[in-house]
Structure 1
C-alpha cells in the first residue's frame, strides 16, 4: 500500500492525513481492509504506537470501522472526484477583490533586503535600549491587565496618554472620547474608506503620495484625483473645482517630497474643506522628528470646523512590529468609526495597549523620542555631508530638517540611467530607491529617496563613499562607451 507522508508535524498526524487522502480520493475503496498495524508500521518505518494512534483517530472520525477479530476496514463514504484545475470554475470575486488584485505590490521593503547598506526610507531608527524597556512594560502589563476585551475604541488609559502627548507636542486639544486606537496607520486608511467612501467618490491625494494609502482608497473604489506638490506642500490652487469626499495630506513632512505645508496653504485647505463639505485626512507619519526647533503644530490644531481626521502611528516612533496607531476623530464621525473598528477586528491587543500607556505615563516614551531625535540629527548630518563630499555637484539635496529621509535629485540622469545606477549600486551592496517609484506621473527630474533611519553614522559615511564610487563608475562607463 503506497502512502506518502508530507513531513509536517507529528508522524501520527502525517499518517492520518495520508490515510484520509487515500480514502477520500478513492484509492482505498469502501469496505477494503487496512493493513495490520504491525505491517504498516514496518512498511513506513514507524512505531506501532504511532499507527495505532492514527487508526484510533480515523475510527473516531468515522473514516474506518473496526471489526472484532477481522481488523480495520474503510467506511462507506462518498468519494470526491479529483479536481481538474483546467476546468475548475470559481465564483466571480467581489468588486473589491477585483480592484485589490490590480494594486501591485510596490512596497519597497521587499527590495535590497540583503545588501550591506539599505537606504530604505520607511525603516525607523532602532533604539537598542528600547528592547529592555519594552520587555519590562510588557511583563508589567501582562501581570496587571485584565485578560479580556476592552472595547473597540481602545484602552481608556492609552487614549488619555495620546491626548496629553498631542496637547504637548502637536498643539491638538482632544479628549479620550475623540481618540480611536487602531492597528497602525494602514488600518486608519481602511477604516476611513469604509466610513466615508462609496464607489466612485473622489479622494484628493498628493502627487507624489504614500503608496499604501493610495492603494487602500483605490481598492475601495474611490476615484483618485492627484494634485501636485511643490516646496510649500500641496498646491491648493490645483484642487478640483467640484466637491471631493476626502482630501488626504501629509502637511508636517510631505511624503516623499519632504516639503512642509505652509501656513497660508493650511488655512486655504481648511477653507476649501468647509466650503465643499469634505473631510481632510491628516497623515502625521513622522511629524515628531523635526531638527530645527519644536515640531510644527498639526493641521488639526487649526481646524475650527472639526473636519480634520488626524492619523498617527507608534510604528515610526518605536518599532515597526508594534501595530498600534490612533485617530483623532471629528465628533460627527466618532461613533461610525468605532462601529467600523468593531466590525473589522473587535479591538487592538489589550496588553500592548496597557504597556504603551504606562510607558507614556512614566516618561519613557518621551525620553526615547529625545534620544532618537538626537541620533537621527547625527545620521541626517552624516548622510548630507557624505553626499556633498562624495557626490559633489552631481546631486541636488532637498534639505528639509525633518523626518527620516532626504531627496537627492540626480544631475544629468534620466529615469533609465537612474535605474541602471540602482542596479549597479545593488551589485556593490548599496540599496537605492528611485523617486519615480513613488509618483504616478514620472517627475521631470530623476532622483533618489535616501533613508537614514536604520544605518549608523559610520555606516552612512561608508554608504555615501560607496555611492560616490558608483557614480564615478557610471560616469566612467559612459565615457568608455563614447
Structure 2
C-alpha cells in the first residue's frame, strides 16, 4: 500500500489522514481489510502503538469496522469520492506518423454492430468447444516448463520447426526454420515489412478490393498506394506499371479478400516475374488458405518463388482464434537480418508460453485435428448460407461462391449503394447484422454488395437469420409477378 505522511502534527494523526485519503480515493475499497497493524508499522517505520491509535480514530469516525478475530475493514456505508485522473487538454499529433494514424484511424469502417441477434460479420471466430479444452491444457503444460526469461526475438525454435513441417506438408512451402519469424499476427507482419522495405512516400501496390486493415497500415506508414484491380483470376498483373514499379505488392492469391478469387497459375508466374524484373517484394497474405471445400488447399505463391522475392505470411487468428495473436513470416534469406532487428526493436519477442503451447499443439496433431473439425463445420455452414441465399434470391442477388474461406460476397442486382445501406439499416432494426462490402474498396462500386461471414453462426442460426434477410429483401426489392 502506498501511503504518504504529510509531516504535520503527531504521527498517529498523519497516518489517520493518509488512511482516510486512501479510503475516500478508492485505494482501499469498501469492505476491504486494512493491513495488519504489525505489518503496517514495519512497512512505514512506525511503532505499533501509532498504528493502533490511527485505526482507533478511524473506527471512532466510522471509516472502519472492527471484527473480533478478523481485523479492521473499510466500512461498507462510507461514501467514496470518484477517482480523479490527471486532466490534460488534447494536443496536436507530435509526429507525421501520429498525424497519419489519427487521420486514417478515423476513416476505418465500423466493426461489430451491437445488439444483433444474428450477425454475418466477417472475422467472428469459429467456436470449437474441444479447442478451448485442448488449448487450456496446452497452456498449462507450457507454463510449467517454459523458460521465464525473454524469448528469442525470432521465436521459439520448437514453434519455428513445427511451422516449417506444417507448411511443407500443407502449403508446399519448404524452408529452414532460420527463415521463419514468429510475430503477433498479420498486422505486425505487415508493419515490420513496411519498416524494413518502405520509406514514407514509396509506392505499395494493393489489390482493389482489399482488406482495409492492410490499406490503413500502409497509409499510416506513409506509403503511396497503387490500387490494382482484381478479376476472377486474381490480380491484373498486366496493369502493373513498368515505370515507378511498387517496392511492395500485397496480395492474397490463394483466396482473394474479399472477392474470393483464386489467382491463376499464369498470373502467379507473371507476378513473380514482375517482382524479379523490378526487384519488388511480394507480401503474400495466406490468411485462410486452409479452408477449401472442393479440393486440397492450393500451394502457396511462395512455393513457386525461385528469385527470393516473396514474404509469406500466415496467421493462427483464423484457424484457431483471434485472441491468440500469433502468426509467422517466412522471410527471404536476404532480408532475414533486417526483419529480425525490426522485430527485436518492436517488442523483444512474442510471448513464449503461448509459443510453446502452440508448438506442442501442432506437433502432437491437435492443430490438424482441429482444422478437420473446423473445415467440416464450416462446409455445413457455407452450404446452409448458399442454399438460403439461392432460395430467397428470385433473381435479385449475385452470389460469388469461392468454394473456400469463411465468407461470401453477395451483390444486390440493379441496386445502388444507398439502397444497400437502407437494407442494412432495415435488417439491423430486426436484429440482423449485415455488412457492406464498400469499405474494402478505395473507390467503392456503384452497386450494393454485402460481405457475409458465416463462421460465427451455426447452420440452424444461418437459416433463421436468412428468414429475416429474405423478409427485408422482399420489402426493399419486392418480387414482381410476370
Which interval holds the TM-score relative to the shorter structure?
A: 0.7 to 0.9
Pick one of 244, 257, 260 that aligns with 1:258: 260
* Aligned-partner Cα distance in 1 for 2:121–2:107: 13
* Aligned-partner Cα distance in 2 for 1:338–1:404: 32
User: Unpaired runs of 5+ in structure 1?
Assistant: 16-35, 53-81
Following superposition, the deviation at residue 108 of structure 1 comes to 6.1
Is the CA contact 2:417–2:448 (under 8 Å) kept in the aligned structure 1?
A: yes
- Give the 3-state SS of the residue equivalent to 1:412 in structure 2: strand
> TM-score when scaled to structure 2?
0.83
- The CA RMSD over aligned residues, in Å, is 2.8
Pick one of 249, 252, 255 that aligns with 2:251: 249
Following superposition, the deviation at residue 232 of structure 1 comes to 1.0
* Aligned-partner Cα distance in 2 for 1:475–1:92: 47
Pick one of 30, 40, 45 that aligns with 2:63: 45
User: Equivalent residue for 1:163?
Assistant: 164
User: Equivalent residue for 2:151?
Assistant: 150
Question: 1:78-121, CA deviations, whole angstroms, 9 ceiling, x for partnerless residues?
Answer: xxxx9996xx6957511110110011356667332421111011
- Give the 3-state SS of the residue equivalent to 2:104 in structure 1: coil
Following superposition, the deviation at residue 164 of structure 1 comes to 0.6
Following superposition, the deviation at residue 9 of structure 1 comes to 5.3
* Aligned-partner Cα distance in 2 for 1:372–1:144: 30
User: Equivalent residue for 2:186?
Assistant: 185
Q: Pick closer, same or farther for the CA change 1:252–1:47 going to 2, 3 Å.
A: same
Moved more, 288-297 or 143-152: 143-152
Q: Pick closer, same or farther for the CA change 1:142–1:412 going to 2, 3 Å.
A: same
* Aligned-partner Cα distance in 1 for 2:471–2:86: 57
User: Equivalent residue for 1:62?
Assistant: none
User: Equivalent residue for 1:69?
Assistant: none
Q: Pick closer, same or farther for the CA change 1:37–1:337 going to 2, 3 Å.
A: same
Q: Pick closer, same or farther for the CA change 1:262–1:9 going to 2, 3 Å.
A: farther
Question: 1:426-459, CA deviations, whole angstroms, 9 ceiling, x for partnerless residues?
Answer: 1111110111121110113211000001100111
Following superposition, the deviation at residue 145 of structure 1 comes to 2.1
* Aligned-partner Cα distance in 1 for 2:173–2:430: 46
Is the CA contact 1:198–1:222 (under 8 Å) kept in the aligned structure 2?
A: yes
> Pairwise mapping of residues 44-443 of structure 1 onto structure 2 (< 5 A)?
45-46=63-64, 90=91, 93-104=94-105, 110-241=111-242, 242-443=244-445
Following superposition, the deviation at residue 150 of structure 1 comes to 2.5
* Aligned-partner Cα distance in 1 for 2:106–2:292: 30
User: Equivalent residue for 2:473?
Assistant: 471
- Give the 3-state SS of the residue equivalent to 1:102 in structure 2: helix
Is the CA contact 1:37–1:51 (under 8 Å) kept in the aligned structure 2?
A: no
Is the CA contact 1:40–1:51 (under 8 Å) kept in the aligned structure 2?
A: no
* Aligned-partner Cα distance in 2 for 1:44–1:254: 67
Following superposition, the deviation at residue 146 of structure 1 comes to 2.1
User: Equivalent residue for 1:5?
Assistant: 24
Question: 1:173-225, CA deviations, whole angstroms, 9 ceiling, x for partnerless residues?
Answer: 11100000001111101111111111101100011111111111111111111
Is the CA contact 1:391–1:467 (under 8 Å) kept in the aligned structure 2?
A: no
Is the CA contact 1:289–1:403 (under 8 Å) kept in the aligned structure 2?
A: yes
Question: 1:302-330, CA deviations, whole angstroms, 9 ceiling, x for partnerless residues?
Answer: 10000000000011000111111000000
* Aligned-partner Cα distance in 2 for 1:128–1:169: 24
Q: Pick closer, same or farther for the CA change 1:364–1:43 going to 2, 3 Å.
A: same
Q: Pick closer, same or farther for the CA change 1:98–1:145 going to 2, 3 Å.
A: same
Count of residues in correspondence between the two structures: 428
Q: Pick closer, same or farther for the CA change 1:170–1:51 going to 2, 3 Å.
A: closer
Question: 1:330-389, CA deviations, whole angstroms, 9 ceiling, x for partnerless residues?
Answer: 001101111111111111111111111111111111111111111111110000000011
User: Equivalent residue for 2:40?
Assistant: none
Is the CA contact 2:108–2:216 (under 8 Å) kept in the aligned structure 1?
A: no
Is the CA contact 1:253–1:286 (under 8 Å) kept in the aligned structure 2?
A: yes
Is the CA contact 1:138–1:352 (under 8 Å) kept in the aligned structure 2?
A: yes
- Give the 3-state SS of the residue equivalent to 1:129 in structure 2: helix
